[in-house]
């Protein structure tokens, strides 16, 4: 696929000043950068974003870990000491012409530094100020660490995931950080549209907890409207507490098969040559009330043949099913290759990192960009030096 030129990207010409660290805030900045915004990352001199050294593997790329490279590509970096008057003055001058500011510190931290929303709005009334907290700006949890696993645990997601007898199970991703970053990006984009209509800036806020609750809005809405009954997870091949048999993941002779929707239990049973469930055919309610019994019977039959054999039988009959792929298997599929999702970014002309592009396409073109994550402070002189007081004209 072709790559959309920077000049044609929808946020080209907008400037984002990003004070955030780790994942949620920088992920928001990444989304805006891919859409064309200029994102200036503000980091502490000599230390930088602590994510530079938060290793999730033993892969080091040009002094930074792969996680930092993935989240902070396509950005600029300035090193500024918020205790230094010249650096603070330069940041104030930068914010005067910025369109967006992002921060994700605990409530009260950025305010003590003089860059809270009220301070920044006084500098630039049209700014869109994006803020992510752990659990909101007040209340008994506001000062607790806003960390992904902790937010998953407090939101109910760990309890909801897995089968009935499983221990609380976290997702294998930093899902709270990712969803909060995407939610903030969505809110900032809406605020930018609103500013184009009425000319006013805005404070856009979300939290890891709000993002996790929103992630569960479908099932929580059911919970809130059926007497607050606690849903029962399936004891067999659990996949969704509110969905009936056969919904789940089943072991085959050589792998795993997911089963989602089916026209009827009878059609599925006939296709897989399953006997003994005939008394359930005319009562759709039993798909939930007898969920474990039905799924156990299906599981015993599915394990007798290979995944490919079952797909050849079930897919032509409009049974919604899929093989379970690992990353290497997924990347070998034609469907994955046709989407052209991977890209190579380069630092200093020699250091290469393989990563993924934005999932958004505009006018048939992708939002790829080969600009690597910046070295700490590599853009400080170019961005801040002209704005420092001692450089001002007499």
Q: Tell how far CA 260 is from the center of its chain.
A: 24
Long-range contacts (CB closer than 8 Å, 24 or more residues apart) made by 156-163: 156/212, 156/216, 157/212, 157/215, 157/216, 160/216, 160/219, 160/231, 160/233, 160/241, 162/233, 162/238, 163/233, 163/234, 163/235, 163/236, 163/237, 163/238
How far apart are alpha carbons 269 and 264 in whole angstroms?
9
Q: Cis peptide before 246, with omega less than 30 degrees from 0?
A: yes
Q: Tell how far CA 115 is from the center of its chain.
A: 26
Q: Tell how far CA 150 is from the center of its chain.
A: 16
How far apart are alpha carbons 244 and 237 in whole angstroms?
11
Query: If you ran DSSP here, which 8-state letter would residue 371 be given?
Result: B
Q: Tell me how crowded residue 190 is: count the other CB atoms within 10 A of its CB.
A: 13
CA neighbor of 33 nearest in space, from 386, 336, 360, 381 = 360
Whole-number Cα distances in Å, 315 to 140, 250, 265, 311, 322: 51, 16, 15, 5, 9
How far apart are alpha carbons 14 and 37 in whole angstroms?
5
Burial zone of 193 (CB within 10 Å; 0-12 exposed, 13-18 middle, 19+ buried): exposed
Tokens 């046709």, residue? 338
Residues serving a catalytic function are: 177
101 in helix, strand or coil? strand
Question: Which helix (H) or strand (E) covers residue 100, if one does?
Answer: strand 100-103
Query: What are residue 131's DSSP bridge partners?
Result: 103, 205
Largest CA distance in the chain: 92
Question: Which helix (H) or strand (E) covers residue 191, if one does?
Answer: helix 175-198
């Amino acid at each position: 696929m072709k790559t959309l030129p920077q000049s044609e990207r929808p946020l080209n010409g907008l400037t984002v000043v990003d004070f955030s660290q780790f994942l949620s805030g920088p992920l928001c900045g990444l989304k805006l950068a891919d859409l064309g915004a200029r994102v200036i990352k503000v980091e502490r001199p000599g230390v930088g974003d602590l994510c530079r050294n938060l290793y999730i593997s033993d892969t080091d790329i040009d002094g930074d870990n792969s996680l930092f490279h993935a989240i902070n590509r396509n950005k600029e970096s300035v090193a500024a000491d918020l205790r230094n008057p010249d650096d603070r003055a330069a940041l104030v001058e930068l914010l005067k012409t910025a369109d967006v500011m992002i921060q994700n510190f605990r409530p009260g931290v950025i305010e003590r530094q003089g860059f809270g929303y009220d301070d920044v709005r006084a500098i630039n009334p049209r700014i869109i100020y994006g803020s992510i907290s752990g659990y909101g700006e007040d209340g008994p949890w506001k000062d607790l660490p806003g960390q992904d696993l902790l937010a998953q645990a407090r939101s109910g997601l760990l309890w909801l995931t897995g089968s009935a007898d499983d221990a609380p199970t976290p997702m294998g991703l930093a899902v709270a950080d990712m969803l909060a970053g995407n939610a903030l990006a969505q809110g900032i984009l809406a605020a930018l549209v609103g500013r184009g209509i009425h000319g006013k800036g805005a404070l856009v806020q979300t939290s890891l907890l709000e993002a996790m609750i929103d992630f569960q809005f479908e099932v929580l809405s059911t919970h809130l409207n059926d007497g607050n009954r606690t849903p029962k997870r399936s004891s067999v091949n659990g996949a969704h507490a509110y969905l009936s048999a056969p919904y789940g993941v089943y072991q085959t002779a050589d792998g795993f098969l997911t089963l989602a929707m089916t026209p009827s239990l009878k059609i599925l049973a006939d296709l897989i040559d399953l006997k003994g469930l005939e008394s359930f055919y005319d009562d759709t309610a039993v798909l939930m009330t007898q969920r474990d019994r039905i799924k156990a019977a299906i599981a015993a039959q599915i394990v007798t043949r290979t995944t490919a054999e079952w797909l050849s039988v079930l897919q032509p009959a409009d049974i919604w099913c899929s093989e379970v792929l690992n990353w290497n298997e997924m990347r070998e599929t034609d469907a994955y290759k046709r989407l052209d999702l991977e890209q190579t970014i380069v630092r200093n002309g020699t250091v290469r990192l393989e990563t993924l592009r934005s999932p958004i396409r505009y006018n048939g073109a992708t939002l790829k960009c080969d600009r690597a994550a910046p070295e700490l402070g590599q853009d400080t002189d170019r961005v801040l030096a002209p704005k420092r007081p001692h450089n001002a004209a007499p």
